[in-house]
Structure 1
Amino acid sequence: MKIMTDEAEFMARAIELAERGRHRVMPNPLVGCVLVRSGEIIAEGWHDHLGGLHAEQMAIADAEARGVETHGATAYVTLEPCNHFGRTPPCTEALMWAGVKKVVVGSPDPNPTVRGDGSEVLRNAGIDVTTGLLQDRCEEQMSQFMHWCQHRQPEVLLKAAVDKNGKIDSDSAEATRFSSPESLKLVHELRADSMAILVGVNTVIRDDPSLTVRGPDVGPRKQPIRIVIDPNGRIPKNCKLMQDGLTPTILIHIKEISTDNDAEHVERVVLSDDDGELDPQRILYMLGDREIQSLLVEGGADTWQRFLDASAVDRAHLCQSPVSLPGNDGPFFGSENLENAGLTRQSTEIVDGDSISKWKRL
C-alpha cells in the first residue's frame, strides 16, 4: 500500500473509507480505520453495514487476510473505539488483541454516557491514545449521529426547489416538474441518507407522492419512514402513502381522527401545543424518542416555513431551476427565508443547469 508521512493523510484515508458504508449502516455512524506501520498503511476497514464488523475489526481482519503483523501498529480511526457489547464485541478488545501500540482518534464518542470510556480502557492497557485529528471532518461526516447523541432529536435537512424567479410551483395549477434529472437524482440520495421524510398534507393531496428511495445508485437499504403533517385529517384514503404498505407512515394531527380501515403500516399521532397548533419541536421530540436521527423536510412551502419559524432546521438544500414556470402564482421562497431563520450559505454548485446552494445552522 501507499507510503505516507503525514498523520492527517492517514485519517483522511479513514474518512474516505467510512463513506463506503453510507446508506447501509444507519442508525450507526459512518466510521473508517487504517492500520499503519513505518509510514505505510498495512490494512484498512470501515463499518460496512448494520450488524457487520466495525471499522477497527474489519481492518484487523484485513491484516489477517493479508498475512500482515498488526503488533506494534498504529490505528487511525474516525470515531473513538467502542467499549460495549452491541451487535458486535467491543472494538477496544479487538485493538488490544491485535497488539496495536497507538490509537489516533478523529472524534470522541458524542454519547455523554460513554464518552471517553474506550480511550480510558485502551490507555489502561498501555496503548497511547490521542484525539482530535481532523475532528471537524470526522464529525461532519457523521453529523446525523452526532446531532442525535447530543440533542436526542433528529438532524433536520430542508430540501426546497424553486423556479428561475424564485417561486414555488403553484398549488392552483397542475403539478410541474422543473428540476433537472440530475437534481432529482440528488433528491433520492438525500432520501436514502434520511431515516424519515416529512411533507405537509397539501403536498400529498396535490402530488400523491410515494416518498420512497428509487434509482440504481442509492445502494441497498430499507425505505425511510414517511411523515405527513395533517392537522385535521384531510389525507385521501386512496393515496399511495395510505395504500402501498412500503414503509411505516405516520400522520400527525391536532385532534383524534378515526382510524377505521387504516392499513397496518399507517399510524396516527396527535400532537399540538396549548393553542391547538402543530409545533415542529414536538414532532422532533417524538421522532427523537423513536431514535430517528435524520429528517428530510420536502415540502411544501407552508411546511418549510413552519419549520424555519420554529428554528427547527439544521441544514437546507435550495435548488433553483433555470426554467421559469409560465402562469405560476406560487409564493416566493429563497435565500432570504433561510437567512432570516439563522442559516448560513456554505456552498453553491451548478448541477445540470440547476443552482444548488447548501446551508447550515452554525
Structure 2
Amino acid sequence: MNMNTDWSEFDIACMKRAIELAERGRGQVSPNPPVGCVLAQSGNIIAEGWHDHLGDLHAEQAAIADAEARGVATEGCTAYVTLEPCNHFGRTPPCTQALLWSGVGEVVVAARDPNPTVRGAGIQVLLDAGISVREGLLMEQAQIQMQSFMYWCEHKRPLVTLKAAMDANGVVDGESPGRFTSEESLDAAHRMRRHADAILVGVNTIIRDNPSLNIRRVPIGESNQPLRVVLDRTLRIPQNSKVLTDDGDTLLIHTQQDSRGVALPADGKGGADLNALLDHLGDRGTQELLVEGGPKVWKHFIEEKLVDRAIIIQSPNLLGEGPMSGLDDSLLIEAGLEMIEQKNWGEDVVTLWTRSNLPWPSGEWP
C-alpha cells in the first residue's frame, strides 16, 4: 500500500472523472454512498462506471461491465475508485472479487471506507492478491462527496439540513395556503428532497397544507421517495392526510402510549426529544434528514443546536398577516452555523449556512 502524494496529471484527471461519475448516483443509492470508478490503460481511460441505484452494480462492477461492452481487455489496467472497494456480500458480491477477476494490476483509492468494522479490509484483500494499491488521491473531495455517509458512520445519526422559506417580512404562512417562492426555489427544494433519506415537518404543516412531501420536479427512481417524518406529539394528524393515504412511507413521532408510529420521550418543552428522534432515525439507517417546517419545528431544532446545514429562502412577495419564521442571522450564528453563500433563485434571495467543521462545496448546493 502506498500513501502516494506524487500524483501525475493523468492520475488526477482519472480520479476527478470518477468523482464526477459518482454524482450520478446521488439520491439513488442510499444507504450506500455515491461511488465512481474509472479503468485506465496506457494513458487512456478505457471504461467507467458508477453506482447508479440501490441493488444495481457497484461502481467497480459497472466499470468492468462497461469494458466488456466496449470489447476492451482489463488485464493489467489501473482502477481509480472514489471509495475503498467493499469486501463483503450484500445486495451485490464483493467489489474486491470483481477486481481480482478482471485482472487489474493496480487500484488507486481516494478514500478508505469510514466504517471502522470494515475499514482497510478491501485494500488488504487486494494487497494479499499481489495487486498494487495507492490511496489518498483527491481524498478530501471524495469524503465531502460522501459527507452524509461519513457523518452517519461516525455519529450513527443523520446529518440535518434545515430549509426555511418566508416572505420579505419574515412571514411563513399568509391568510391562505399556497406557494409563494419562485419556480427556481421550488426546483431546488425538490433537488434537496432527492438528496435526503427523510423529510420532516410538524403536524401543523400537515393540517394546514396537506402536502405530499415527495419528489416531483426532478428525476428519481420509483423506489427512491424519502421517508416522511411527522412530529405529532398528541397524534392530531387527520386520517385523510396525503402522507397517510398515498403509497409513500410515513413515520409518526409522538409522545403518547399508542401503537401508531414511534413513541419517544417528551423533552419537557411540549415536544418529543429530538436527540432521541435522531438516534432512532440513525438506527434506521437514515443518513440525511431534511427539516422543512414549520416555524416551531425550525426553532426547536435550532435551539437544540441540532442543525448542521440551513438554507434560508426569502421571497420578495408579501403574504400579509401570518406567523413569523422566528429566524434571523443571530439565532443561526448562536446555533453554531456560519453563512457561506448568498445567491438568487429567481427573485428569491437565498442564504446557505453550515457548521464550520462541515465543508459544503458549491458543487453540492441545490
TM-score by length of 1: 0.90
What is the rounded CA distance, in whole Å, between the counterparts of 2:27 and 2:271 in structure 1?
34
Give 2:3's aligned residue: none
What's the secondary structure of 1:81's corresponding residue? coil
Equivalent pairs counted in the alignment come to 348
What is the rounded CA distance, in whole Å, between the counterparts of 1:277 and 1:188 in structure 2?
28
Distance 1:96 1:207, change over 3 A: same
Tell me, yes or no, if structure 1 residue 150 matches structure 2 residue 154. yes
What is the rounded CA distance, in whole Å, between the counterparts of 1:313 and 1:329 in structure 2?
22
The equivalent position to 1:136 in structure 2, one of 134, 140, 151, is 140
Which range moved further: 334-343 or 75-84? 334-343
Give 2:346's aligned residue: 352
Distance 1:280 1:329, change over 3 A: closer
Give 1:189's aligned residue: 191
Unaligned regions of 5+ residues in structure 2, if any?
1-7, 358-366
Alignment of 1:157-168 (within 5 A): 157-165=161-169, 167-168=170-171
What is the rounded CA distance, in whole Å, between the counterparts of 1:42 and 1:222 in structure 2?
31
Deviations 1:89-109 (A, max 9, x none): 111111122222221111110
Alignment of 1:19-168 (within 5 A): 19-165=23-169, 167-168=170-171
Tell me, yes or no, if structure 1 residue 169 matches structure 2 residue 172. yes
Give 2:214's aligned residue: 212
**1:232–1:254 CA contact under 8 A, matched in 2:** yes
TM-score by length of 2: 0.89
The equivalent position to 1:9 in structure 2, one of 4, 13, 16, is 13
Distance 1:307 1:141, change over 3 A: same
What is the rounded CA distance, in whole Å, between the counterparts of 1:210 and 1:112 in structure 2?
38
Which range moved further: 245-254 or 198-207? 245-254
What is the rounded CA distance, in whole Å, between the counterparts of 1:53 and 1:331 in structure 2?
44
Give 2:329's aligned residue: 335
What's the secondary structure of 2:261's corresponding residue? strand
Alignment of 1:211-290 (within 5 A): 211-215=213-217, 217-242=219-244, 244-257=245-258, 267-273=260-266, 275=268, 277-290=271-284
What is the rounded CA distance, in whole Å, between the counterparts of 2:221 and 2:241 in structure 1?
27
Deviation at 1:168, TM superposition (A): 3.2
Matched letter for residue 31 of structure 2: P
What is the rounded CA distance, in whole Å, between the counterparts of 1:217 and 1:53 in structure 2?
20
What is the rounded CA distance, in whole Å, between the counterparts of 1:253 and 1:328 in structure 2?
26
Matched letter for residue 334 of structure 1: D
Q: Among the aligned pairs, what percent are the same residue?
A: 52
Deviations 1:40-80 (A, max 9, x none): 11110111121111111111111122222212211110100
Deviations 1:173-218 (A, max 9, x none): 3224221011111111211222211111111121111111113534
What's the secondary structure of 2:60's corresponding residue? helix
Deviation at 1:277, TM superposition (A): 4.3
Give 2:300's aligned residue: 306
Give 2:362's aligned residue: none
**2:181–2:348 CA contact under 8 A, matched in 1:** yes
What is the rounded CA distance, in whole Å, between the counterparts of 2:288 and 2:80 in structure 1?
27
Distance 1:170 1:183, change over 3 A: closer
Give 1:262's aligned residue: none
What is the rounded CA distance, in whole Å, between the counterparts of 2:44 and 2:351 in structure 1?
39
Distance 1:331 1:193, change over 3 A: closer
Give 2:180's aligned residue: 178
What is the rounded CA distance, in whole Å, between the counterparts of 1:107 and 1:91 in structure 2?
15
Matched letter for residue 265 of structure 2: S
Deviation at 1:220, TM superposition (A): 3.9
What is the rounded CA distance, in whole Å, between the counterparts of 2:293 and 2:12 in structure 1?
40
What's the secondary structure of 1:22's corresponding residue? coil
What is the rounded CA distance, in whole Å, between the counterparts of 2:325 and 2:52 in structure 1?
43
**1:107–1:132 CA contact under 8 A, matched in 2:** yes
Distance 1:237 1:88, change over 3 A: closer
Deviation at 1:332, TM superposition (A): 3.6
What is the rounded CA distance, in whole Å, between the counterparts of 1:268 and 1:69 in structure 2?
53
Matched letter for residue 276 of structure 2: R
Deviations 1:276-314 (A, max 9, x none): 742211001111111122211100111011111222222
Distance 1:277 1:219, change over 3 A: closer
Matched letter for residue 359 of structure 1: W
Which range moved further: 213-222 or 333-342? 213-222
**2:28–2:220 CA contact under 8 A, matched in 1:** no
What's the secondary structure of 1:6's corresponding residue? helix
Deviation at 1:81, TM superposition (A): 0.4
Matched letter for residue 354 of structure 1: D
